[in-house]
Structure 1
Amino acid sequence: MPGPKDLDPSSSPRALLGAELRHARERRGLSQAELGEPLFVSGSFIGQLEAGTRRLHREYAVQIDEILGTGGFFARNCAALAVSRYPDHFAEAAEAEAVATGIREYTQLLIPGLLQTRTYAEAVFRAYKPTAADAEIGDLVAARLERAHLLDDPTTPLLWAVLDEAVLRRAVGGRAVMAEALRHVTGLARRHRIIVQVLPFGAGAHASMTGALKLLEFGDAPPLSFVEGPDMGKLLDDPATVARHVLTFSLLQAAALSPQESLALVESVTQDYEHGDQHA
């Protein structure tokens, strides 16, 4: 019987590879946990690979081919999954984000990438890479704006953002850029496409003082969390860690202003920027 054909990179390679993995595993009569054991990963990790919420890396693919007797199929097709428009530390998170049914995100210093305008994103990337060529900055901005097309669907994913008040007060790109960026955020919220809360300075100490946090939920796979720093990021699937991050986000929501109060504050700050009244 002929083996599976190589995947077409123009399709959705990660979803197709996940479906092939599930088929090959079940054909061998293995559970997700049984396949994960020789790889030293959990059964839930295998489930995430099969659901397309995690990328299959070559070191796992080679072992899977050996265990399932798939003749190098998974190792060959890892190349289709390795191509990404995003930095290495964020590529897997961006891929998971694209198939998430729910995204909850707390940011300390900047508007979340999915909610950024072109001019705001340009200012952010130029600050990150002050000597980069314009073409490189343009490519980064284009990739970020392409991610935002996730919000073209009227209902999915559910995006709930908690913004530290510092996000509003830091004049990224200047007053005009900030006014446009904040109008974009409030426009999405007023159209009931996203939920936004602001964590005010007056809240004092809170549950995520050490950094930003992103939670990803899926219809057919366990949730993930993502944490990042300068030029690094990690997608986490350990159930205890993710549960702790879910609690952290819940505490942030509780400490933040209500969505209605938050919109009023964002719109007030927007007017300050528009009229030149925003001060450091």
Structure 2
Amino acid sequence: MAQQQLPPAVMKIVLGNELARQRIEAGLKQDEAAEVLRCTQQKIAHIESGSGIRPVELDALLERYGATETDKAYARDLQAEGNRRTKRGAFSTRFRQHMRLLVDMEASCQRFFSYQAMVVPGLLQTEQYMRTLFRAWRPSPSQEQIDQDTSDRLARQRVLDDADQKFWFIIDEAALRRWSIGSSEIMKGQVMWLTEVLDRPNIELQLVPFTAGYYMGQGHDYSVFEYDTKTPVSIVYLEQHDGGTYVDDSKRTAQYLALWDQQKAAASGPEQTRRVLLDLAASL
């Protein structure tokens, strides 16, 4: 499967990181870069965090940083792509505004990490599990809305077929122990699907068992998207009830990557996870 073009918002973040790299290599501080544009140090910080930059400002910074022609061309391409408009009818436009970047990043990142405490991640949900979740919303959505949301979420799962991408999921056991009266068969189907997912070469799945006790970050759902751009980029999505927050500050993303490592250590290995899943399915 061909790798999708990076979303414009990601392009701006990549450009910001690239400009920060060039500034540092030039031996300049942010306030010295601000003198070039006759702006505040805060504006340079915003540019480097992915807010975007005008072409004339970009050229001025590149000249001051002593960028090579190759680096100039790369930065200009990033700037142009960062201002690209989403095509009408693009797949991500089926989703709510706060979800669109998430959907675009799922299809374009090199590596995707996801931690979920109370529900199975959307990319791994079966159709019946999805419908059960959607019916739990209040006020209750219409059947037509449930059908549409289910269809869209199933379509998102096609990204898992891209062997060039790496997907790694950590799920707390609590997510698999929660089902309502009459839904045990639905959960059994969901659990059996997870055992099949374990055998995909581009997917890793770990379960944090109840026996692990308390561990760092439990109960705080998040996803990490990593890009192997010239200046590598990691973006964190923090899931919330009424939306979500994107984090691309390098210090904060580093904290989540450190948290991810701790959660991997708390979770069971793939084969231990398989045994737990099979035992759980047998009990349903």
TM-score, structure 1 length as denominator?
0.72
Partner of 1:234: 245
Q: Would the alpha carbon gap of residues 171 and 156 (structure 1) be closer, same or farther in structure 2, given more than 3 Å must change?
A: farther
1:209 to 199, 212, 218: 218
Partner of 2:150: 141
Partner of 1:196: 205
Aligned length: 240
Structure 2 residue identity aligned to 1:164 = D
Partner of 1:41: 46
Structure 1 residue identity aligned to 2:258 = L
Whole-angstrom CA distance in 1 between matches of 2:82 and 2:207:
45
Partner of 1:276: none
Identical positions, percent: 23
CA-based RMSD of the aligned residues comes to 3.7
Whole-angstrom CA distance in 1 between matches of 2:198 and 2:137:
28
Whether 1:114 aligns to 2:119 is: no
Unaligned runs of 5+ in 2: 24-29, 60-80
2:269 to 239, 258, 267: 258
Whole-angstrom CA distance in 1 between matches of 2:82 and 2:263:
41
Whether 1:244 aligns to 2:249 is: no
Q: Would the alpha carbon gap of residues 229 and 77 (structure 1) be closer, same or farther in structure 2, given more than 3 Å must change?
A: closer
1:171 to 166, 172, 179: 179
Partner of 2:72: none
**How far did 1:133 drift?**
1.1
Unaligned runs of 5+ in 1: 1-10, 47-59, 274-280
Query: SS state of the match for residue 115, structure 2?
Result: strand
Whole-angstrom CA distance in 2 between matches of 1:142 and 1:112:
16
1:98 to 94, 107, 110: 107
1:64 to 36, 54, 61: 54
Q: Would the alpha carbon gap of residues 76 and 82 (structure 1) be closer, same or farther in structure 2, given more than 3 Å must change?
A: farther
Structure 1 residue identity aligned to 2:176 = L
Structure 2 residue identity aligned to 1:90 = M
**How far did 1:202 drift?**
1.5
Give CA-to-partner distance per residue, 1:124-168, whole Å, 9 cap, x none. Answer: 111124521111111111111111000112x23211111101011
1:162–1:197 Cα contact (<8 Å) kept:
yes
2:110–2:166 Cα contact (<8 Å) kept:
yes
2:6–2:105 Cα contact (<8 Å) kept:
no
Give CA-to-partner distance per residue, 1:10-31, whole Å, 9 cap, x none. Answer: x96946x959x98xxx9xxx98
1:111–1:167 Cα contact (<8 Å) kept:
yes
Q: Would the alpha carbon gap of residues 42 and 65 (structure 1) be closer, same or farther in structure 2, given more than 3 Å must change?
A: closer
Whole-angstrom CA distance in 2 between matches of 1:13 and 1:244:
24
Query: SS state of the match for residue 244, structure 1?
Result: helix
1:102–1:156 Cα contact (<8 Å) kept:
no
Query: SS state of the match for residue 171, structure 2?
Result: strand
1:197–1:256 Cα contact (<8 Å) kept:
yes
Query: SS state of the match for residue 246, structure 2?
Result: strand
2:235 to 208, 214, 224: 224
1:127 to 136, 148, 160: 136
Partner of 1:268: 279
1:227–1:234 Cα contact (<8 Å) kept:
yes
1:196–1:263 Cα contact (<8 Å) kept:
no
Q: Would the alpha carbon gap of residues 78 and 157 (structure 1) be closer, same or farther in structure 2, given more than 3 Å must change?
A: closer
Give CA-to-partner distance per residue, 1:40-83, whole Å, 9 cap, x none. Answer: 5243526xxxxxxxxxxxxx6xx7378579xxx98793675896
2:98 to 86, 89, 97: 89
Whole-angstrom CA distance in 2 between matches of 1:190 and 1:168:
19
**How far did 1:37 drift?**
6.8
Whole-angstrom CA distance in 1 between matches of 2:91 and 2:156:
18
**How far did 1:94 drift?**
1.8
**How far did 1:96 drift?**
1.4
Whether 1:151 aligns to 2:151 is: no
